[in-house]
C-alpha cells in the first residue's frame, strides 16, 4: 500500500495538522509497513523544494505570486487573477506528483491548493481518499476557483472518508452535506508512549527546562505566538493570581510569509506588556518549536488554553493524558466535550477573574482523580486505537479496488 500525504503546511514550518500527519505516518510505517510520500504547500516559504525532515522526504510546492493588499476594487480584482494563476501553477505541480507516484490512497490534511487538487484527482481517478477537516473554516468539499463549486458539486461516495476531529467539525461536515456513513468523527490521536502519567518528577523537569521551583504553581501554554492563540489574555489572568503562580509560554513565531509582520508585532507587544506589568520574574517565554511538549506539560500544575477558536486543540487531550488539569476557553463542541468540570479541569468564558479562579480550583484537583481521567482519555483517544482504525480503513479501501 502506497499513500500520498498532502498537507497545507509541514515541518519545519509550524503546523498542527502537519505535525500530526508526520507522526501518524511514522507510526503507521513502523506498525504496518506502509509506504508513503509527503507533498506540502506553505505559507512561510515561497519556493519549490525537496528536502528531508526528521528522516522523511518532503516535496514542497510553494512557488507562487504574491498578492496585493486588498484595499480597493482594483487590488481585489488583481488578487483573483493571481490566485487563479497560483491555483493552475501549483495544481499542475501536484498533478505531476500524483501521476508519477501511482498511489493507492490519497490522504489530505487542511485546505490549500495541493490539498484540493489532490482530493479532486482522487475523485476523478477513483482513488480512495481520506480528507481531514482539521481547521475552522475548512470546507469538506474541495475548493474550485471561479465559483465552479456551485456548478460542479463534489459527492462523497464509497471511495472517500471525511475525518472530523471534533463534534464541532463533525456537525459542520454534516451541514455541508457529508453523509453519515462517509464521516469519521474522532479526536486526534494521543501518543500514549509520550503522553501519560509518570516519568520524570516535576521538580527535575522544572530544573532542566524552567526558572521555576518545586513549590511554585506553574501554568503552561504551548502554542504558536499569534493573536488567535490569545497568549496576551494570560497576562491579565496572572495579575489576579498571587506570587506563587508562575506561567510558561512556549512556541514558534512565524518567520516568513503573509503573517510574519502581524505575528512578529504581536510577540513584541506581548514581551513589552510583561515588562510593563512587572511580570517578567513570574512569566517565562520560550520562543521556538517545542519538540518535547510532554515534558512541559508534565512539569506544570495546570495547562491553560485561552485560544479564541480551535477545531479541537490536541494539547488539551495530551495534557489530560499526562494527568494535568486544563482550564480552557469555552468552545462549544470542542473544549466542553472533553474537559470534565472539577475532574480534568474547567471550561469558562474569557473573563480574567473567572479564569483565575478556575486555575486555583484546577490546581487543587487530587492526583488520583487526574490519573483516572488520564486513563479514560487514553481509552478513547490513544494512538494505538486510532492508528488501527486508520489502517483498517485504508486496507478496506484497497481491497475494494
Question: Tens place of pLDDT for every residue, the chain, 401 residues?
Answer: 899 999 999 999 988 899 999 999 999 999 999 999 999 999 999 999 999 999 999 999 999 998 888 888 888 889 989 999 999 999 999 999 999 998 999 999 999 999 999 999 998 898 999 999 988 777 898 888 876 766 666 777 778 999 999 999 999 999 999 999 999 999 999 999 999 998 888 999 999 999 999 999 999 999 999 999 999 999 999 999 999 999 999 999 988 888 899 999 999 999 999 999 999 999 999 999 898 999 999 999 999 999 999 989 999 999 999 999 999 999 999 999 999 999 999 999 999 999 999 999 999 999 999 999 999 999 999 999 999 999 999 888 876 66
Contact of 241 with 356, CB cutoff 8 Å = yes
- For residue 370, count other CB atoms closer than 10 A to its CB: 20
Q: What is the pLDDT of residue 88?
A: 94
Distance, in Å, from the CA atom of 16 to the CA atom of 244, rounded to the nearest integer, reads 32
Closest by alpha carbon to 108, among 123, 88, 96, 93?
A: 123
Q: What is the pLDDT of residue 58?
A: 97
Q: Which three cell numbers stand for residue 234?
A: 494570560
- For residue 52, count other CB atoms closer than 10 A to its CB: 8
Please enumerate in sequence order all residues whose Cβ is within 8 A of that of 69, keeping only pairs 6 or more positions apart, or say none.
75
Closest by alpha carbon to 384, among 30, 9, 34, 12?
A: 30
Q: What is the pLDDT of residue 400?
A: 62
Distance, in Å, from the CA atom of 325 to the CA atom of 319, rounded to the nearest integer, reads 7
- For residue 67, count other CB atoms closer than 10 A to its CB: 15
Q: What is the pLDDT of residue 219?
A: 98
Q: What is the pLDDT of residue 41?
A: 97
Question: For residue range 326-370, what is the model confidence (pLDDT) as tens digits?
Answer: 999 999 999 999 999 999 999 999 999 999 999 999 999 999 999
Distance, in Å, from the CA atom of 315 to the CA atom of 369, rounded to the nearest integer, reads 19
DSSP E strand boundaries for 97-188: 105-109, 129-133, 160-164, 183-185
Measure Cα distances from 130 to 6, 47, 67, 105, 394 in Å: 10, 27, 31, 8, 9
Dihedrals phi, psi of 249, to nearest 5 degrees: -110, 125
Q: What is the pLDDT of residue 296?
A: 97
- For residue 60, count other CB atoms closer than 10 A to its CB: 24
Q: What is the pLDDT of residue 151?
A: 60
Contact of 62 with 13, CB cutoff 8 Å = no
> How many separate helices (H) and strands (E) can be counted in the chain?
13, 14
- The pTM for the full model equals 0.89
Distance, in Å, from the CA atom of 47 to the CA atom of 13, rounded to the nearest integer, reads 13
Contact of 213 with 294, CB cutoff 8 Å = no
DSSP E strand boundaries for 134-204: 160-164, 183-185
Contact of 170 with 143, CB cutoff 8 Å = no
Contact of 339 with 347, CB cutoff 8 Å = yes
Give the H or E element holding residue 354: helix 352-363
Q: Which three cell numbers stand for residue 338?
A: 472533553
Report helix, strand or coil for 72: coil
Question: For residue range 10-56, what is the model confidence (pLDDT) as tens digits?
Answer: 999 988 899 999 999 999 999 999 999 999 999 999 999 999 999 99
Measure Cα distances from 243 to 253, 273, 276, 282, 327 in Å: 28, 18, 17, 7, 19
- DSSP string of 223-269? --SSGGG-TTHHHHHHTTS-TTEEEEEEE----SSTTHHHHHHHHHH
Contact of 311 with 334, CB cutoff 8 Å = yes
Distance, in Å, from the CA atom of 372 to the CA atom of 68, rounded to the nearest integer, reads 53
Q: Which three cell numbers stand for residue 25?
A: 505516518
Q: What is the pLDDT of residue 149?
A: 66
Alpha carbon distance, N-terminus to C-terminus of the chain: 12
Q: What is the pLDDT of residue 385?
A: 95
Distance, in Å, from the CA atom of 168 to the CA atom of 151, rounded to the nearest integer, reads 27
Q: Which three cell numbers stand for residue 363?
A: 490546581
Q: Please report the domains of the chain, with CATH numbers, ordered by start residue.
A: 2-189+382-400 (3.40.50.2000), 202-381 (3.40.50.2000)
| Bridge partners of residue 163, in order along the sequence | 132, 184
Amino acid at each position: 500500500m502506497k499513500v500520498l500525504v498532502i498537507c497545507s503546511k509541514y515541518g519545519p514550518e509550524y503546523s498542527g495538522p502537519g505535525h500530526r500527519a508526520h507522526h501518524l505516518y511514522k507510526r503507521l510505517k513502523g506498525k504496518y509497513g506502509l509506504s508513503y510520500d509527503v507533498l506540502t504547500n506553505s505559507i512561510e516559504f515561497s519556493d519549490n523544494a525537496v528536502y528531508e525532515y526528521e528522516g522523511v522526504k518532503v516535496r514542497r510546492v510553494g512557488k507562487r505570486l504574491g498578492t496585493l493588499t486588498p484595499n480597493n476594487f482594483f487590488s481585489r480584482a488583481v488578487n483573483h487573477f493571481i490566485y487563479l494563476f497560483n491555483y493552475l501553477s501549483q495544481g499542475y505541480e501536484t498533478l505531476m506528483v500524483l501521476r508519477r507516484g501511482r498511489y493507492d490512497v490519497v490522504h489530505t490534511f487542511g485546505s490549500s491548493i495541493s490539498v484540493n487538487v489532490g482530493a479532486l484527482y482522487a475523485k476523478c481517478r477513483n482513488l480512495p481518499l481520506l480528507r481531514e477537516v482539521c481547521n475552522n473554516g475548512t470546507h469538506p468539499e474541495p475548493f474550485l476557483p471561479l465559483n465552479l463549486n456551485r456548478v460542479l458539486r463534489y459527492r462523497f461516495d464509497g471511495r472517500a472518508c471525511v475525518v472530523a476531529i471534533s463534534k464541532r467539525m463533525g456537525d459542520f461536515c454534516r451541514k455541508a452535506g457529508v453523509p453519515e456513513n462517509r464521516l469519521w468523527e474522532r479526536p486526534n490521536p494521543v501518543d500514549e508512549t509520550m503522553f501519560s502519567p509518570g516519568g520524570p518528577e516535576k521538580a527535575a523537569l522544572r530544573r532542566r527546562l524552567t526558572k521555576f521551583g518545586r513549590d511554585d504553581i506553574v501554568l503552561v501554554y504551548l502554542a504558536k505566538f499569534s493573536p488567535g492563540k490569545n497568549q496576551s489574555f494570560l497576562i491579565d489572568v496572572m495579575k489576579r493570581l498571587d506570587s506563587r503562580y508562575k506561567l510558561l509560554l512556549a512556541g514558534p513565531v512565524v518567520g516568513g510569509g503573509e503573517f510574519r509582520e502581524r505575528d512578529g508585532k504581536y510577540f513584541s507587544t506581548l514581551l513589552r506588556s510583561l515588562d510593563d506589568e512587572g511580570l517578567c520574574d513570574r512569566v517565562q517565554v520560550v520562543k521556538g518549536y517545542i519538540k518535547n511538549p510532554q515534558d512541559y506539560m508534565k512539569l506544570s500544575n495546570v495547562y491553560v488554553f485561552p485560544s479564541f477558536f480551535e477545531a479541537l486543540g490536541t494539547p488539551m487531550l495530551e495534557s489530560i493524558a499526562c494527568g494535568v488539569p486544563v482550564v480552557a476557553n469555552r468552545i462549544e463542541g470542542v473544549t466542553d466535550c472533553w474537559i470534565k468540570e472539577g475532574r480534568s479541569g474547567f471550561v469558562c468564558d474569557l473573563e480574567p477573574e473567572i479564569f483565575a479562579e478556575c486555575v486555583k480550583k484546577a490546581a487543587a484537583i487530587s492526583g488520583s482523580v487526574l490519573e483516572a481521567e488520564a486513563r479514560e482519555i487514553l481509552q478513547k483517544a490513544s494512538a494505538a486505537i486510532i492508528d488501527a482504525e486508520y489502517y483498517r480503513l485504508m486496507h478496506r479501501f484497497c481491497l475494494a479496488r
